Chains A and B, each alone.
Chain A
Amino acid sequence: MPLLVPATLIVLVFLAAPLLILLRYSFNRFVPGQFMVEAFTLENYAKFFTDPYYFAVLRTTLLMSVGVTLACIVLAFPLAQVIARASPRSKPMLIILVIVPLFIGNAVRAAGWMVAFGQKGLVNTALAGLGIQPVTLMYTPAAVFFGIISVNLPYVVLTLQSVLEGIDAHLGEASQSLGAGRFETWRLVTLPLAMPGLIAAAVLSFILTMNAYATPLLLGGPQFQMMAPVVATTILSQNNWPFGASIAFILMVVTLCLTAAMNLIVARRYGR
């Protein structure tokens, strides 16, 4: 038990305490020029839900998170299955290949894409060389979408792979011997048994996207807004701590609620 003390302290001091302080801030009043005035008001929260601009930011963030998560699961599942069934010799190599992108930070990667996909970037230079009109790749929702997918994909692949690996390969063979085709076997045996891992992977991808900062900021451009960058701008550029804190809390609560709901629905659908 004494061994738990340092971790508990770190969580209390560096996570719980700042959160509580931020929660308190979110009820303060923002008076331009005076920084922050002690108060106990819900007007910051009210502002978020009544101002169509901020509500649209939340909607964009949610759509992006759901879309990215679905795309990640669909893209990652076959790859995870291949890795899970790979021979003991090739498996470590495949896993390393999946992990390698994690060595590069999101910001560095996004910056690289700016170079590659900009109006005068690598891709458009190449296209121009072939006599093709330049295409707009940067600062579009699609750029953010694919950017976040590539950030999340390794996590999703590894989570799914570890669960798929635990499924006895004979189960699939038993299913086939009983007359189920490959897809039917996947749908009736593999998918239900992989469901716990699938939920975990989806939750991970959803949370990562809800809170994505560097990728939307660098690839989305000024027109495209998601929650985390808005929190940062509100606090850092506008110095509006109370409103920034309230946006942060709305983001946190929405993420928590949807994650819990997803867990419940899937758990009920697939049982134990």
Chain B
Amino acid sequence: MATLRLDGLGKSYGDVTVVENVSLDVADGEFLVLLGPSGCGKTTTLRMIAGFVEASAGRVLIGARDVTGEPPYRRNIGLVFQSYALFPHLTVFENTAFGLRRRKIGEAEVKSRVERALALVRLDGLAARYPKQLSGGQQQRVAIARALVIEPDILLLDEPLSNLDAQLRIEVRSELRRLQKSLGITTIMVTHDQEEAMSVADRLVVLQSGRVQQVGSALDLYLRPANRFVAGFIGRGNFLEGVALEAGFRSAQGTVFPCGAPAGSVGTLLLRPEHVGLHRQQGHGMFAGRIESVRFLASSFDIAVVLAAGDRLQAQLPATPGAMRENWQAGDETFVAIDPAAMTLLQNDTGHADLNSQNQKGVSP
């Protein structure tokens, strides 16, 4: 158990920069998730922490120990792979004991520690099996036991749940979270799945094009996204380009939204679909519009609305009995209500050029 510090960490291959100037402080016992689309540099960052990729710049510190130049086998790191990477020629017991045997620990202690680790992941009784005789979920738990039994300073998880089916994934991730908290082990996980990230992390690090876009709790990132990329990656959003005036934010189509942004700034207005309310009757501060399409998604309705000025918004209504009775249909007249407190203006100066080219269609997944 220890703290982890990344200090200006970078990696380039020739002219191609994969990771640029990543600095992070991870507290003892914290669960940090590196989140981003494929190719954002999250896996390279993880592999630099593990020691499999040599950093081109910066340092990695575990506790007070600078491990930047250390090979992986001297870093005391537990690593869990997406493919589990269990040794197929060794039993569950021998897989779990592998790290302990490298540490020249006595046979009696090896046995008791392996048994404890396997009990921790609820696999006691399967010690004599070979990996291929286990289900995917069981193999994943062996991989976790094998990484934990050596009492690593840091636990690294590389997309550990991606190979599990949806049901199992939810089960394993809550187990992982419980285990991590009860052991108090500093953990870094890499994933591209925002829901997975939000469900386990104390803090999230959103990466894009090798750079840290924002660090914070899930709620921080949702409520105060630093830029459009983060806003689109944590939750969904309607993004409207425009200018802030005295009266509010004026979209390119001409709708004025009463958000309290300083006048004169050019930017993008973020409206979360779940904050867009639909009404049959006009009320104070509502925008007239027409329903374009309705999709029912069991727990919610996804409704596309076109405002009078032409702005297109996605609304997400929870599938309450009230919403069922309302029975919105394409073509219906509607009045859109949005709490001004839920309108977030994103300045355009933060991201890269490529950030702005994405999500032009309003809603990002």
Contacts and interface: CB of A to CB of B under 8 A. Distances in A.
A193 B132 CA distance: 14
A185 to B, nearest CB: 8
Interface string A152-185: 0000000000000000101101111111110011
B222 interface: no
Interface string A77-96: 00000000000000000000
A184 B79 contact: no
B129 to A, nearest CB: 13
Contact of A189 (B72, B87, B99): B87
Contacts of B73: 176-181, 185
A179 B103 contact: yes
B50 A177 contact: yes
Contacts, number: 64
Interface in B10-40: none
A178 B102 contact: yes
Given A178-B146, A179-B150, A181-B73, A171 B99 contact: no
Interface string A178-202: 1111001100110011000000000
Contact of A179 (B85, B86, B87, B99): B99
A272 interface: yes
B150 A178 contact: yes
B33 to A, nearest CB: 19
Interface string A34-76: 0000000000000000000000000000000000000000000
Given A178-B150, A179-B150, A272 B85 contact: no
Nearest to B152: A177
A173 B87 contact: no
A180 B102 contact: yes
A131 interface: no
Chain B's interface size range is 20 to 34
Contacts of A270: 89
B41 interface: no
A177 B102 contact: no
Given A170-B81, A170-B83, A176 B71 contact: yes
Contacts of B99: 178-179
Interface in B160-198: none
A271 interface: yes
Nearest to A192: B89
Contact of A272 (B72, B89, B146): B89
B87 A171 contact: yes
B79 A174 contact: yes
Nearest to B96: A178
B267 interface: no
Interface in B55-99: 71-79, 81, 83, 85-89, 98-99
Contacts of A176: 51-52, 71-73
Contacts of B87: 171, 174-175, 189
A193 B102 contact: no
Interface in A122-176: 168, 170-171, 173-176
Given A177-B72, A179-B150, A184-B102, A271 B89 contact: yes
A173 B51 CA distance: 10
Nearest to B82: A170
Contacts of B86: 174
Q: Which of B71, B83, B102 has the most CB of A within 10 A?
A: B102
Contacts of B130: 272
A176 to B, nearest CB: 4
Contacts of B85: 168, 170-171, 173-174
A39 B78 CA distance: 74
24 contacts: A168-B85, A171-B85, A173-B50, A173-B81, A174-B81, A176-B51, A176-B71, A177-B78, A177-B147, A178-B73, A178-B98, A178-B102, A179-B99, A179-B102, A180-B73, A180-B98, A181-B71, A181-B73, A185-B73, A188-B98, A189-B87, A193-B88, A270-B89, A271-B89
Interface of A: 168, 170-171, 173-181, 184-185, 188-189, 192-193, 270-272
Interface of B: 50-52, 71-79, 81, 83, 85-89, 98-99, 102-103, 130, 146-147, 150
